[in-house]
């Protein structure tokens, strides 16, 4: 467990990391029972003797081990809300931000979109005020995903693009590609194929050059759908046949079936 913490949270200040190791070591008998991990760490996270960074890290570890069920969320939310108000009363906006983001994440895990959106927007406002630009990009992505799952494609695109803007500015190709892909999928769902096609083509070439077969098959399906929707049936069929060949070679039954249906 100690090595796990050092790997996962080594980017924190050394002091906080060592405190985490000692705290978990003290709780080792309890932590031997997996079901006790979240409750033990969760309660420790709210100890008044801990600083904000340490509390936040403990909450992250608890979340890693948590079974995300509605009863668990309902059990712990009152503690979070109580702590959130205490931090707010003391003007500790950074801690309020961390808790609002955690609440948004918890409600997302149990598919409570309205409450998740509410807390993510609260976290977004604070992250923006605190000039935490990477957190702003992350929360924009989370909000975009919720809107995507609700089939609110236009709203999803808006937040995906905001998140994309940051990752493009810092040259993060991997995260930029994920966001461009989600934008392309959303455009497909809106029947805006002329807009999605350039995105799909670019991403498809990128994964093809990298030899990333799972992502290539994923993107290729979107590309073929966009071509078909744009009235380019012959081009779509060529892509489907290419996907079918790749899927068979890599034993991807799902993509092979899908490609077979559309390729004929």
Residue 54 lies in a domain: yes
Domain finish residue from 41, 62, 83:
62
Q: Which residue has the tokens 């975009």?
A: 144
| pLDDT given for residue 27 in this prediction | 38
Residue 126 lies in a domain: no
187 vs 50, 99, 203, CA distance in Å?
46, 33, 15
48 vs 51, 172, 206, CA distance in Å?
8, 38, 49
Query: 80 pLDDT exceeds 90?
Result: no
Query: 74 pLDDT exceeds 90?
Result: no
Higher pLDDT, 158 or 34: 158
Residue 260 lies in a domain: yes
Average pLDDT score over residue span 171-198: 95
Report how far residue 203's alpha carbon sits from residue 218's, in angstroms, rounded to the nearest whole number: 10
pLDDT in tens, 92-139: 898 899 889 988 988 887 788 999 999 999 999 999 999 999 999 999
Into how many domains does the chain fold?
A: 2
Output the six-digit token pair for 36.
């006790």
Domain finish residue from 42, 62, 82:
62
Check if the beta carbon of residue 244 is closer than 8 Å to that of residue 263: yes
Residue 164 lies in a domain: no
Could you please report the per-residue DSSP string of 77-138?
HHHHHHHHHHHHHTT-HHHHHHHHHHHHHHHHHTT-HHHHHHHHHHHHHHHHHTT-HHHHHH
Domain extent at residue 210? 191-264
Report how far residue 107's alpha carbon sits from residue 117's, in angstroms, rounded to the nearest whole number: 9
Residue 141 lies in a domain: no
Check if the beta carbon of residue 194 is closer than 8 Å to that of residue 230: yes
Report how far residue 44's alpha carbon sits from residue 136's, in angstroms, rounded to the nearest whole number: 28
DSSP 250: T
């Amino acid at each position: 467990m100690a090595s796990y913490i050092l790997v996962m949270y080594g980017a924190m200040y050394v002091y906080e990391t060592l405190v985490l190791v000692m705290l978990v070591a003290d709780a080792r008998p309890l932590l031997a029972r997996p079901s006790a991990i979240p409750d033990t760490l969760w309660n420790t996270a709210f100890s008044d003797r801990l600083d904000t960074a340490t509390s936040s890290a403990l909450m992250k570890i608890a979340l890693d081990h948590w079974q995300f069920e509605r009863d668990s969320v309902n059990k712990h939310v009152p503690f979070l809300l109580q702590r959130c108000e205490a931090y707010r009363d003391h003007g500790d906006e950074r801690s309020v931000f961390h808790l609002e983001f955690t609440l948004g994440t918890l409600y997302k895990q149990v598919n409570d979109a309205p409450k998740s959106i509410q807390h993510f927007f609260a976290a977004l406002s604070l992250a923006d005020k605190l000039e935490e630009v990477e957190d702003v990009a992350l929360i924009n992505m989370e909000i975009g995903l919720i809107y995507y799952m609700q089939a609110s494609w236009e709203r999803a695109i808006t937040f995906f693009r905001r998140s994309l803007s940051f990752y493009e500015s810092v040259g993060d190709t991997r995260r930029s590609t994920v966001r461009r892909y989600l934008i392309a999928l959303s455009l497909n769902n809106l029947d805006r194929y002329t807009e999605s096609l350039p995105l799909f083509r670019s991403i498809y070439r990128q994964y093809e050059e990298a030899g990333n077969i799972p992502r290539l098959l994923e993107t290729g399906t979107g590309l073929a759908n966009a071509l078909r929707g744009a009235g380019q049936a012959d081009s779509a069929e060529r892509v489907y046949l290419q996907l079918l060949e790749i899927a068979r070679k890599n034993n991807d039954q799902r993509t092979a079936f899908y490609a077979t249906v559309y390729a004929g």
